[in-house]
Chain A
């Protein structure tokens, strides 16, 4: 039981580290602001939450686990709010999104 939790925790931590680094790499690689927001969506709630869930498995069943769970919930609630506020502020400041082509069913501002 303890060993299984240990292995599961390490798997979560390694997966989270992988997604975090990939998200940061995407932050550098993506061409414009809005696509960078997508890359940060891989990093910000997803990879970081996986690392924290892995730490929860490592901590056993203590108060530390509860604090980590609270931290995960907090990140999952606040990060889309910040992301949406960022995208909306950029849209209102007339930062034009880079679109693939005009065939998309889009309606430009």
Chain B
């Protein structure tokens, strides 16, 4: 299952990047795809839940747009604070509990925190994330746990 999805993704990658459809290049692409899949599976052993989380792809269609909207909102907020003459920032450190079950889920949550401007995940430990927030409002917004719940729901896909 993961093999099939990786093969399809790599083949699409090759075709879309090259855009040339001569037999030699297509054959070379096919060879490279299978070589990469064999290498990832047998030699590096990264073709697993962590290395290629293809089971998350369906739920990503609902999680990513929400995350993008969060990025736009907080990006606009940080922009206003940068341009404000008095620079109204109140940086603080908070520890945010995580409710994800797997490492992939925790990394998704930590990356989502970092991706939204205004909050950065500093350190990821078992069960909690040390977060540096630009403003206290940002830290409080994170403490409501909305993103945590959504990341957990995203991780629990399938």
Residues of A within 8 A of B (CB): 19, 22-23, 25-26, 29-30, 32, 34-35, 37-39, 41-42, 45-46, 63, 66-67, 70, 76, 79-81, 83-84, 87-88, 91, 97-101, 104-108
Contact residues of B between 95 and 123, Cβ < 8 Å to A? 95, 110-111, 114-123
Q: Are A19 and B79 in contact (CB under 8 A)?
A: yes
Knowing A81-B111, A84-B114, A104-B139 touch, does A38 contact B78 (C-beta < 8 A)?
yes
**Binding stretch for chain A, among B29-37, B49-57, B82-90:** B82-90
- How near does chain A come to B18, taking the closest CB pair, in angstroms? 9
Give the interface centre of A25, A63, A67, A87 by most chain B CB atoms within 10 Å.
A87
Q: Are B114 and A35 in contact (CB under 8 A)?
A: no
Q: CB of B17 within 8 A of chain A?
A: yes
Knowing A97-B132, A104-B139 touch, does A35 contact B91 (C-beta < 8 A)?
yes
Which residues from A are CB-within-8-Å of B122? 84, 87-88, 91
4 nearest A-B pairs in the assembled complex, by CB-CB distance: A104-B92, A41-B117, A80-B114, A26-B82
